[in-house]
Structure 1
Amino acid sequence: MAYGQTGTGKTYTLGRLGDEDTSARGIMVRAMEDILANISPETDSISVSFLQLYMEYIQDLLNPANDNISIVEDQKTGDVSLPGATVWEIRDQQSFMQLLRLGEAHRIAANTKLNTESSRSHALLMVHVKKSVVDRDEFSLDAQNRSIGNLRPPMLRKGKLIVVDLAGSERIHKSGSEGHMLEEAKSINLSLSALGKCINALAENSPHVPVRDSKLTRLLKDSFGGTSRTSLVITIGPSPRHRAETSSTIMFGQRAMKVENMLKIKEEFDYKSLAKRLEMEIDKLMAENERQQKVYENEIERIRLEAQKRVAEAERNYVEALEEEKTKCQMDYMESIKKLEEKWTINQQKHAEVVGFGTIISFSCGNFLSFLTRQ
Structure 2
Amino acid sequence: MRAAFDPPDGIYLDTATYGLPPRATTEALRAALAAWSAGSADWMAWDRRGEDARAAFGRLIGAPPGTIALQPAVSVAVAQVLAALPFDDRTEILAPEGEFTSVLFPALASAGIGRLTVREVPLEALAGEVRPSTALVATSHVRSDDGRMVDLPALRQAAGEAGARILLDGSHAAAVVPPDGAAWGVDYYVVAAYKWLLSPRGVAFLYVRPDRLEGIPPLAANWRAADDPYGRYYGGPLTLAATAARLDVSLAWHAWVGAAESIGFLAEIDPADRDAWSRGLATRLAGLPQVPAPPAAILSLRLADGVDPGRIAQAGVRTAGRAGRTRVAPYLYNTPDEIETAARVLAPLLDRSGTP
Larger Rg belongs to: 1
TM-score, scaled relative to structure 2: 0.23
TM-score, scaled relative to structure 1: 0.22
Structure with more helix by fraction: 1
Highest RCO, 1 vs 2 (Cα 8 Å, sep ≥ 6): 2
